Structure 1
Amino acid sequence: MKRADTLVRRSSYLNVVEAHPEWLGDPFIDEAEYLRDVNETAWRWEYLGEVTGTGGNVFTNIRDERLSLGRIRNFERTRNGVDWGWFPDPWRFVRCAWEPGARRLLIFEEHSANRKTPHETGQMVVDFLTYADEPGEDTYFHNELVWCDDTPDGKQQMAVYRRDFGIRIRPARKARMRKLSY
């Protein structure tokens, strides 16, 4: 409940677009309008600042479905990522694929842990990247690039992963690196 003397001022990019579209630029405006067309609720939240739900969901357009191994093997754009967490935030490892034509992110593998050291999670990453290419074949370590959050804890973790496990790991900076941080 707001106090009687509280001043609320509402504004959005729409207040600027008509008078000074050059301030934002065409890519920004195009992206905003695209989101407005495909997901108005997300557009209202991201670009207008409206409260559009309980706040508990990051995404509302998630579908839970089984992906065949054949489909996973044929992904062209895959990424592996680690988000360092200790407690209460979990450590996460994900394997994803991006389908740009459909603007679809497919997370086909996800693992989580709490209160694990970099050495313990490094072994977990090695285990997750050790698999057979085809059913019935021998498993082996796939030396795939893994992206990790670029925090002090993440940097410590990356050093252990490289030194002790030979994992190819790089920082995924959070700012202006959309392709790397998806």
Structure 2
Amino acid sequence: IREITDGEIAQFDNIYNGVDWGWYPDLYAFVRVHYAPAQHTLFIWQEYTCNKTKNIDTAKHLLELGITANDLITCDSAENKSVEDYRAYGLLARGAEKGPNSREYSYKWLQSLRSIVIDNKRCPVACEEFINCEYDRDKEGNVISGYPDGNDHVIDAVRYAMERVWKRRGQ
């Protein structure tokens, strides 16, 4: 958890974008990340979250953040209509290719990274979610296998953003 400087961001060349759709009480979450494969490090440096906001309004906000028609956004594929809305609004959106065990594989990939750097001023929700993410436990305090679900909207957006990387073997 640390500041990611504007100078660092200017050098980022492997930028990925992800969206987890939400309305209420679930958050809509957009995230921009940079992956440094040589360092096996992920930098989370931009987020936008909200509740009860229409697709057209979140799309406008992404454009205000500097997202262009050339910036691929990998979105939760559970809402194909929302992905199509983003395309209609001029954004390069595609649905994530969910499949058997994709959630588990993406979490394992995140756990395999040497480090995940999160700018807590620019990305306070990501910071909170990653810090508080832990395995569920049974009544005796033993860790339950599987990955917890809930309070993970930015984490899901990161997983979608990085799908093209974690699906490649050896990355």
TM-score by length of 1: 0.52
Gaps of 5+ in 1: 1-63, 131-140
The CA distance in 1 between the partners of 2:98 and 2:63, in whole Å, is 24
After TM superposition, the runs of 4+ consecutive aligned structure 1 residues lying more than 6 A away are none
Question: Match for 1:174 among 98, 101, 123?
Answer: 98
TM-score by length of 2: 0.56
Check the 8 A contact 1:91/1:114 in 2, yes or no: yes
**Match status 1:157 vs 2:78:** no
The CA distance in 2 between the partners of 1:96 and 1:81, in whole Å, is 9
Largest Rg, 1 or 2: 1
Check the 8 A contact 1:129/1:142 in 2, yes or no: no
Check the 8 A contact 1:85/1:91 in 2, yes or no: yes
For 2:43, give the aligned amino acid: L
Check the 8 A contact 2:14/2:36 in 1, yes or no: yes
Question: Match for 1:92 among 29, 43, 63?
Answer: 29
Check the 8 A contact 1:90/1:113 in 2, yes or no: yes
**Secondary structure at 1:76's aligned position in 2?**
coil
Cα drift, residue 143 of structure 1: 2.9
Inter-CA distance 142–168: structure 2 relative to 1 (3 Å threshold): closer
RMSD of the TM alignment (CA)? Answer: 2.1
Gaps of 5+ in 2: 107-161, 167-171
Percent same amino acid at aligned positions? 29
Check the 8 A contact 1:129/1:143 in 2, yes or no: no
Pick 1 or 2: higher relative contact order, CA cutoff 8 A, min separation 6.
2
For 2:95, give the aligned amino acid: P
Q: Which residue number corresponds to residue 145 of structure 1?
A: 72
Cα drift, residue 145 of structure 1: 1.0
Q: Which residue number corresponds to residue 20 of structure 1?
A: none
Cα deviation code 1:102-138 (max 9, x no counterpart)? 22211100110001111111111211225xxxxxxxx
Task: Give the number of aligned pairs.
Answer: 106
For 1:128, give the aligned amino acid: L
**1:15-30 alignment runs, 5 A limit:** none
